[in-house]
A = this chain, B = another copy of it.
């Protein structure tokens, strides 16, 4: 047993690259980490000794000598991601290469049980590196201890309830759910391969996740992308009211408008966005008009984002925003008002928030391995 669990700098770099790749040969690690073959050899030896990496097979593809393949070892550990949604709680445990190790679901009330279930399903002996909890609230650094707290009161109680189930001593990071979903689109969704984009979520509320250079933009109060505070209505002779835009463009307002515009000839009035979009897809006139109107509203919101950020790509998500039927209308309004900007629909859907939270947790977990090892004892 090594008395000094510190990693050399090159070993840390190799570990980070190995975690990102999942598994790789030594030459691959060398080119990905920008290190030479001998350095990678010694780094791999160091990681194997620390059980952070293991020899998982040999690559026997092409010509030439076959290379040894390495993967993450048992000591690399796991991370936990929790999505505290308004109705459902999703929990995910992942290894540091992102592979799913445990999964659990429950209602909001069953959050504690779901967390316990996922924790029990994690492999024994694997250290839990970090926990990320996604909440539907602005999150800001806590004054004490470097932790995070919901900045407003909305998500506070739920978070407190869940935190009793979390093992002590493991760093917990709170993150806004829209930011998490944006990260999911970045890593395995519609924004794959991009460096900068905006993820516009339209549901009961509206929110924007901003990714610039692969990093989430959080803002001075953790409130970047809180579009509910855009001035609205905005005109020469009207006073904007706080949060008025969310009431107007959110899911509730869409259904309210549907109820108001509905005529007997249209059949039963839809009571969910799903029904409304289905009727529009069938060619019903009233439903189609409502969808077109909604698309224009979303397009204006997107135009406001593009006017400030010019992100080049906007991914639409959320319970009323993710329908591809909206795309033509949104693109038309955005094109009329603002800069050339791609608009696509979310591909990760409802799981986006947990998936993104898990991505964030993995990134932080890798840091703890490569940084904690540097602490002077």
The interface residues of chain B lying within 8 Å CB-to-CB of A222 are 310
A308 lies within 8 A of B240 (CB):
no
Could you say which residues of chain B place their CB within 8 Å of the CB of A311? 219-220
Residues of chain B with a CB closer than 8 A to A224's CB: 308-310
A108 interface residue per 8 A CB criterion: no
Given the known A-B contacts A230-B304, A234-B234, are A240 and B310 also in contact in the complex, defined by CB atoms under 8 Å? no
A70 to chain B: closest CB distance in Å?
A: 30
Contact B310 A304 (CB under 8 A): no
- B-contacting residues, A269-327, CB 8 Å: 300, 303-313
A303 to chain B: closest residue by CB: B231
- How many copies of this chain are found per oligomer? 2
- Least CB distance, A221 to chain B, in whole angstroms: 5
| Main SS class of interface, A | loop
State which residues 228-246 of A face B: CB under 8 Å: 228-236, 238, 240, 242
Once A221-B339, A310-B219, A310-B221 are accepted as A-B contacts, the answer to whether A248 and B229 lie under 8 Å apart by CB is: no
Whether A346 is near chain B, meaning CB under 8 Å from some CB there, is no
The reply to whether B236 and A248 contact each other, CB–CB distance below 8 Å, is yes
**A166 in the interface, Cβ–Cβ < 8 Å?**
no
Q: With a CB–CB cut-off of 8 A, which chain B residues contact A231?
A: 300, 303-304, 307, 337
Knowing A220-B196, A220-B310, A238-B235 are in contact, say whether A229-B305 is a contact too (CB < 8 A): no
Selected A-B contacts with CB under 8 Å, 9 pairs: A210-B308, A221-B310, A229-B339, A233-B234, A233-B236, A235-B235, A235-B238, A305-B308, A308-B308
- A contact residues vs B (CB 8 Å cutoff): 196, 208, 210, 212, 217-236, 238, 240, 242, 248, 300, 303-313, 336-341
